[in-house]
Chains A and B, each alone.
Chain A
Amino acid sequence: MAGSHGPQFFVDNKKGEINELKVSLKNIMSERDNTKRRDVIKKVIAYMTLGIDVSKLFTDMVLISHTDDIVQKKMIYLYLVNYVESNQEQALMAINTFCKDCKRISSQNPKIRGLALRNLCSLRFPGAIEYILSAIQDGLSDPDPYVRKTAIIGLIKLHKYSKNLIVGSSFVNTLYELIRDIDPNVSINAILALNEILEEEGGIAINRRMVIYLLNRINSYTEFGQSTVFDLVAKYEPQAEDEMLDILNILEEKLKHSSGSVVLGCIKVFLNYTRDNQLMIRQVFARIQAPLVTLFTGAEVTGAYEQAYCILAHIHLIISKGAGGIFEGDFKSFFCKFDEPTYIKFMKIDILTMIVSDQTVEDVINELSAYVTDVNAEISKKSIQAISKVAVRIPFACVAIVRQLLSFLSLNIDYVITETLVAMKDLVRKYRELTYEILAEIENSLEIASDEGKAAIIWMIGEFGEEITDAPYIIENIISNLIANENYQITHAVLSATVRLFLKRAPEMRDILSSLYSKLISECDNPDIMDRAGFYYQLLRQDPSIANEVLNCEKHPIQNFLEDDCFDLQDILTNEFNQLSVIYQKPAKQIIKPKAELTVPEPEQVTQVVNDLLSLDQVNLSENAFKIDTEFVMVSDDFQQMWMTVPDCIKYENRLSRYINIQEVENLMASVGINCIASGDQMGTLKFFFYAKDSGSDVLFLAEFVIVLAAKEASLCVKCHDKTAAENFKRVFLQASSSFLQS
């Protein structure tokens, strides 16, 4: 089109084109042909999406907004919402357009009313609130459900912008009334809105009448509506057993639904209502078993592995709460398939180890053994771990399982051998009677296994050295090949195994022990190992019998490994079923951060650079008065001691302006001489401990700096004896962090 107006060579001349558009927009003001009008507007939008600034056309766009054509409306709204923030003076014009389109008198078409209302509610600036409020008020009583449901969501948006506006107002009552709206979408939105607006009071208030009402019209809601309702019903506490059974009977039909969110929502109600009744909860487990299996296998058929994963995670949880028995008959459903993603395979392998029984152990072990040769090393390792877990769970099968494990040693794959050896080490801690069988086989693997595997073998030699005739020679051989600084894990294992073996077989081991010590003294530079060697030496010198008591004490066979027992899951099962906690296997308090809303727009890249430059200058200027000693180094013990004794001096909080990682923060601080002594990342919360010293006055500063990434919050706590000096430190600190903190 541009070509017909001028020579094509000048397509770069954007300014000219924008003026041209301005003229076109003026021309179509009185144009009646909608296709012509659409074409011009489309061109404006095309420029906008390309990133060309067309904000100059704002007035013209407002002027042509009087149209009934929804295609044009949508494009004009898109434009207006996009540029309203940069056109504050003309914003009111845009708001008027929206308000007019929201009104029934001026706008007959409910689609346009809804559309205008939705866009109006998305505008976020102070002057807009009263217009939005009155438009929402009208929208809530609009004859068209599309407008009503949009108005309800608008209320939530407004609530987020200004909390006190809605809570306690008559809107809350209106929302309760709208739950009974004839349109199911309006009804669901009213529930959603109440839940969010009344969040601090624990969400929407629910009573028996409402539950019955909602369940009676449950089939009119979409699957998402149904899961919203079930979430609500799960919070209700039935007054009597009859009432509870009535509700559950209504819900039972929904277990046949093909949507995961509906079925899981429904199961949540079942679990919540029967949580205190052991007998009933068994019946519930039995009832939900088949639907859950059908759901995940059904999802797999259509390639919806993500949903299958979610269902499997819930099955995992239910099993870990003692429902393993009910899935036993279906254990083959949890066999891994060739083409499944690894996350599904991991989950299934876990589940298999949990539901295995005396009857199924042989099949399960055969199946798991087949995964050991999987092309994916992670799956292979996971299945070896799983096999050893099964051995711990099913004692009568342990001999057969150990033989199976031993057969993996002939596979000649280093990670398989290593993982197998580690698994064996764990098994002999439980089944000490198997030691001999295992020890006879593992020696040969010493050469192929990687470090972790070697360490496992060496540990076993130390532990059971009295039963291996060759033990001293094996150890001697290892020591002669040992390079002390090459691998601390192995050196560690060799040291303790040698000492323990010495206590058992002193005559054979005396020379070997001394050769190890001379090797360590001449070669080793690891303080940890040297400390331990020193400790053993002292112990042996004092009294070998005490040393023997300490090092070779009688160990009771362990019953279960602590890692395998989960304590927190009960809470998740009853309170957080069908929530993210189930997937992470952690209660909500560990994963959900206190949230904070964003109201301040992010600073642009350019200003950041300017800030950086400025801060550099300022640091240089302030050098005379206050200078951080960049050479100063502090050890952690001193730091800890000071941290306990020095009082908090300054506390400061701010918000992040951009995403940042640990390394970057440390580097920025190091560049001004503030050193980091410890840092860490716990699920998105970055924590740092810093220290610094003023070179003039020798005043020390300690600081704790915490960043919560998701909430964009940062807080600083400075410890120091001198308040004014601490202010100086804070200033330097903030200058260094100005690139990622808001000004």
Chain B
Amino acid sequence: MLSQFYILSARGDTIISRDFRGDLVKGTNEIFFRKAKLWKGDLPPVINLEGINFLHLKKGGLYLVATTIRNVSPSYVLDLLQIVAKLIKDYCGVLTEESIRKNFTLIYEIIDEAIDYGYAQSTSTDQLRPYIVNEAISVENSLFTFRPSFLSSSAPHTAVQRPMAGKGVKNEIFVDVYEKITALFDSKGYLINSAIDGCIQMKSYLQGNPQLKLALNEDLVLNKSGGLYGNAALDDFNFHEGVNTSEFNDFKILTINPPEGEFIAMNYRIKGEYQTPFRIFHFIDEITPYKLDFTIRIRALFNSKQFGSNVVVKFTMPKTTTSVSFEQLSKVSNQKTEYKDIEKLCDWSVKKFIGGSEIALKVKTSLSSPCSQKELGQISMNFEIPMYSVSNLQIKYLRVVEPGKQTTPYKWVRYITQSSSYVCRI
């Protein structure tokens, strides 16, 4: 169980603080923040400082911290912190320093209902609803709005950032099939590691929480390693509490009792090969031992109706690099190149990368002393492809089961593919 809970801003201000059990010294937030600030790299989420256990989540630059002196279950505490984050997001619309400061009485209300004396109590948005009396002050159009990584920039996320209890709530539901892909190519361009980690994420504003039926494509193959092209074959998967899977094995239908607000109905993973959306080619021309020409070509292998957005390509130059100049070899517009000398990092970005097209860049490099090619490291790509699913998992239909409802809810189904780690070794 938790002893204390607090939310710290990135600068270390305590925005929210609650002591549940009074069994710990005050000022533990300072102990925590001092450590977090001085830590090299990322502070581990579970850590023992001065005999006190600190468990924390980092969300949108904020620290959600729990302390305890008992040998608790770390997964219980982390899940509970996650739930608190979700509740705040459901009620305030977004989880940012501003929204918390503006709604702090509401947030104390939420915390008091969700956690009593350090134990999880009412943890779902609808269970909490009757006990929450404050109304959310929504923070809109903020420049610094935290956008959850699962929402595509190309989707209407302002709607999804609405507080749950706000006035004029529409009867609607958002469904995202969200896939994060991993690909690793060796220096010859062969795919040596690949995986898809996907989830079906929902955010429900449905009135009266009706039961839903969600059908996936019937040719979906379950529990099969390898897999054929064209057929989605899932290696393993798990489900949210409110999902009934009795019809899943035979008919690929999930019966869902959607809780209010955001939840992940299903997680799945696929290892093995898939049609990678981008191919990366690279050549190194050693003109003299002190001059290198490094050329990269990237081809988008998907349909020309689709496009990759916010494509960023990164690679580091050798430590002995003295100067770098770029030459764009393709006519694709909205390209940007940048070289950061301190980290020897090249940054090449393309706003919109249409399917079937190709982009290329030549990097002319001067060196102060010769280097081995190893120092070039790797090329990594970040991107997002809206309305594209690498795995071929599809949503056939989404139905509201309860008959006799006058209004049909609005349903928004989106597919998003995003890079998790898309790397080519040199």
- CB pair A341–B23 under 8 Å, yes or no, is no
Residue B402 lies at the interface, judged by CB distance under 8 Å to chain A? no
**Assembly CA distance A162 to B161 (angstroms):** 46
**Assembly CA distance A311 to B269 (angstroms):** 16
- CB pair A260–B75 under 8 Å, yes or no, is yes
- CB pair A293–B236 under 8 Å, yes or no, is yes
What is the chain A residue whose CB lies nearest that of B135? A71
Residues of B within 8 A of A598 (CB): 22-25
Residue B405 lies at the interface, judged by CB distance under 8 Å to chain A? no
Residue from the list A258, A291, A343, A712 in contact with B42, Cβ < 8 A: A343
Residue A708 lies at the interface, judged by CB distance under 8 Å to chain B? yes
> Quick one: given A294-B237, A411-B372, are A338 and B45 in contact (CB under 8 Å)?
no
Mind listing 6 A-B residue pairs with CB under 8 Å? A149-B121, A153-B116, A302-B150, A303-B149, A306-B45, A656-B25
> Quick one: given A294-B267, A588-B71, are A602 and B79 in contact (CB under 8 Å)?
no
Residues of B within 8 A of A710 (CB): 24-25, 50-52, 69
- CB pair A412–B193 under 8 Å, yes or no, is no
Residues of B within 8 A of A504 (CB): none
Residues of B within 8 A of A258 (CB): 238-241, 264, 266-267
Contacts A343-B44, A578-B73, A712-B25 supplied; 14 other A-B pairs, CB < 8 Å: A111-B130, A153-B121, A222-B120, A261-B73, A261-B76, A309-B45, A335-B182, A370-B378, A576-B71, A578-B74, A584-B48, A684-B49, A710-B52, A711-B51
Residue from the list B48, B117, B124, B198 in contact with A222, Cβ < 8 A: B124
Which stretch from A52-60, A371-379, A557-565, A688-696 is at the chain B interface? Answer: A371-379
CB of A257 to closest CB in B, whole Å: 6
- CB pair B236–A658 under 8 Å, yes or no, is no
What are the 3 A-B residue pairs with the smallest beta carbon separation, nearest first? A684-B51, A342-B41, A298-B267
Residue from the list A192, A305, A336 in contact with B119, Cβ < 8 A: A192
What is the chain A residue whose CB lies nearest that of B81? A306
- CB pair B74–A582 under 8 Å, yes or no, is yes
Number of interface residues of B (CB under 8 A): 102
What is the chain A residue whose CB lies nearest that of B46? A583
Residues of B within 8 A of A550 (CB): none
What is the chain A residue whose CB lies nearest that of B50? A684
Residue A138 lies at the interface, judged by CB distance under 8 Å to chain B? no
- The interface centre, meaning the residue of B22, B74, B105, B116 with most chain A CB atoms within 10 A of its CB, is B74
On A, residues with C-beta under 8 Å from B are 45, 70-71, 74, 111, 118, 124, 146, 149-150, 153, 156-157, 160, 185, 189, 192, 222-225, 227, 231, 256-261, 263-265, 290-291, 293-295, 297-298, 300-307, 309-311, 313, 330, 332-333, 335-343, 363, 366, 370, 373, 375-376, 378, 407, 410-413, 576, 578-584, 588, 591-593, 595-598, 602, 656, 658-659, 683-685, 708-712
> Quick one: given A343-B45, A376-B41, are A189 and B52 in contact (CB under 8 Å)?
no
- CB pair B148–A303 under 8 Å, yes or no, is yes
> Quick one: given A111-B130, A333-B271, A335-B184, are A578 and B75 in contact (CB under 8 Å)?
yes
CB of B270 to closest CB in A, whole Å: 10
- CB pair A592–B238 under 8 Å, yes or no, is no
Residues of B within 8 A of A711 (CB): 51, 69
- CB pair A310–B74 under 8 Å, yes or no, is yes
- CB pair B79–A290 under 8 Å, yes or no, is no
Residues of A within 8 A of B178 (CB): 301
- CB pair A591–B48 under 8 Å, yes or no, is yes
**Assembly CA distance A582 to B53 (angstroms):** 13
Q: Which of B246-296 contact A (CB under 8 A)?
A: 264, 266-269, 271
> Quick one: given A153-B119, A185-B121, A410-B372, are A310 and B46 in contact (CB under 8 Å)?
yes
User: B29-71, CB under 8 A of A: which get 1 and which 0?
Assistant: 0110000000011111110111111011110000000000111
- CB pair B75–A156 under 8 Å, yes or no, is no
- CB pair A332–B50 under 8 Å, yes or no, is no
**Assembly CA distance A711 to B25 (angstroms):** 8
- CB pair B78–A310 under 8 Å, yes or no, is yes
CB of A294 to closest CB in B, whole Å: 4
**Assembly CA distance A297 to B271 (angstroms):** 11
CB of B5 to closest CB in A, whole Å: 15
Residues of A within 8 A of B123 (CB): 222-224
User: B350-374, CB under 8 A of A: which get 1 and which 0?
Assistant: 0000000000000000000001101
**Assembly CA distance A711 to B69 (angstroms):** 9
CB of B87 to closest CB in A, whole Å: 13
- CB pair B80–A224 under 8 Å, yes or no, is yes
CB of A121 to closest CB in B, whole Å: 9
**Assembly CA distance A309 to B58 (angstroms):** 13
Residue from the list B26, B50, B271 in contact with A709, Cβ < 8 A: B50
**Assembly CA distance A150 to B117 (angstroms):** 10
Residues of A within 8 A of B69 (CB): 592-593, 595, 710-711
What is the chain A residue whose CB lies nearest that of B85? A304
Residue from the list B31, B52, B195, B380 in contact with A332, Cβ < 8 A: B195
Q: Which of B372-426 contact A (CB under 8 A)?
A: 372, 374-375, 377-378, 380, 382, 420-423, 425
- CB pair A264–B343 under 8 Å, yes or no, is no
CB of A374 to closest CB in B, whole Å: 8
CB of B84 to closest CB in A, whole Å: 12
CB of B111 to closest CB in A, whole Å: 12
> Quick one: given A189-B119, A338-B421, are A298 and B46 in contact (CB under 8 Å)?
no
- CB pair B46–A256 under 8 Å, yes or no, is no
**Assembly CA distance A33 to B130 (angstroms):** 22
- CB pair B236–A291 under 8 Å, yes or no, is yes
What is the chain A residue whose CB lies nearest that of B120? A224
> Quick one: given A258-B240, A411-B372, are A592 and B71 in contact (CB under 8 Å)?
yes
Residue B199 lies at the interface, judged by CB distance under 8 Å to chain A? yes
CB of A512 to closest CB in B, whole Å: 34
**Assembly CA distance A595 to B52 (angstroms):** 11
Residue from the list B116, B131, B238, B420 in contact with A295, Cβ < 8 A: B238
Residues of B within 8 A of A224 (CB): 76, 79-80, 120, 123
- CB pair B269–A293 under 8 Å, yes or no, is yes
Residues of A within 8 A of B380 (CB): 338
Residues of A within 8 A of B377 (CB): 370, 373
- CB pair A581–B71 under 8 Å, yes or no, is yes
**Assembly CA distance A710 to B237 (angstroms):** 41
CB of B294 to closest CB in A, whole Å: 15
Residue B224 lies at the interface, judged by CB distance under 8 Å to chain A? no
Residues of A within 8 A of B184 (CB): 335
Residue from the list B23, B25, B238, B374 in contact with A298, Cβ < 8 A: B238
Residue from the list B74, B121, B134, B345 in contact with A580, Cβ < 8 A: B74
**Assembly CA distance A305 to B23 (angstroms):** 29
- CB pair B122–A309 under 8 Å, yes or no, is no
- CB pair B117–A156 under 8 Å, yes or no, is yes
Residue B157 lies at the interface, judged by CB distance under 8 Å to chain A? no
CB of A25 to closest CB in B, whole Å: 20
- CB pair B420–A339 under 8 Å, yes or no, is yes
